Structure 1
């Protein structure tokens, strides 16, 4: 079983919070802990600071901003309701690099990332954080795909 799980999240994970929490809880050992990481690019980080009315010169850190993030806070609550130890951390910069650094920083045994279905061309043109983590992580990575509730079966 997994002792320390790194759960990487972003704003795009709003619709898959339940699946991410369920996946994390399902792989943890009895005394396991979850480190939730929200990585912001520089622009999004500054936007979030402005939205939260954080003064440019304050000592507020990326960890503080991440703790005030709805997705991260909700996931922490869902996991804590299951008596799972949780910490929220933040990082500024390239998401894949931040996730891979955090694997070492928290001594993670496994990473869980969310993502959406994209074509190979789309991944090539726009990059894929999940793909970079899958290929670069020194530990197992679980990919939690977004549910597409808009898809409905076509009747014959």
Structure 2
């Protein structure tokens, strides 16, 4: 099975692992020539907060989640690294539940792989706080690569 489309999920909590996420993405996308869909999912509250923080003029025009994601610092860093590696990419910023929107996006773009970051948690921590990465792995329509933060 050829890898043509990769969804790279990045969020506000990925700043410390963004380099690893991008390295892993380039390792797959480079040799296969895959297009990378960089996705930053916003809850409605996160979207509204980002609109304020990034000083969008919502009275002048409608601002999509994609527009907000393109200006997010983590997404911009990822985009720069993908450009430097000559990887074709696009940016998406769906608004809604993180897991649901990532799974929907993977289906929409017919993703062959989904990369998601996370940190190590104890079983009790997962039970109490949940695990976005675990939920995505269970619901994803394609294989998921979990990239854990460096443990230096």
What's the TM-score, normalizing by structure 1?
0.90
For residues 4-153 of structure 1, the aligned pairs below 5 Å read 4-28=5-29, 29-57=31-59, 58-149=61-152
**Where does the alignment leave 5 or more consecutive residues of structure 1 unmatched?**
150-156
Aligned partners of 1:24, 1:68: CA distance in 2, in Å? Answer: 20
Give CA deviations for 1:75-100 in whole Å, capped at 9, x if unaligned: 11101111110111101111111100
The equivalent of 1:154 in structure 2 is: none
User: Which 4+ residue blocks in structure 1 deviate beyond 4 angstroms?
Assistant: none
RMSD (CA atoms)? 1.2
Residue in 2 that maps onto 1:153: none
Q: Larger strand proportion, structure 1 or 2?
A: 1
The total of aligned residue pairs comes to 149
SS for the counterpart of 1:112 is strand
Determine which structure has more spread, i.e. the larger CA radius of gyration.
1
Q: TM-score, normalised by structure 2?
A: 0.93
Q: Distance in 2 between matches of 1:126 and 1:93?
A: 19
Shift of the alpha carbon at 1:56? 4.0
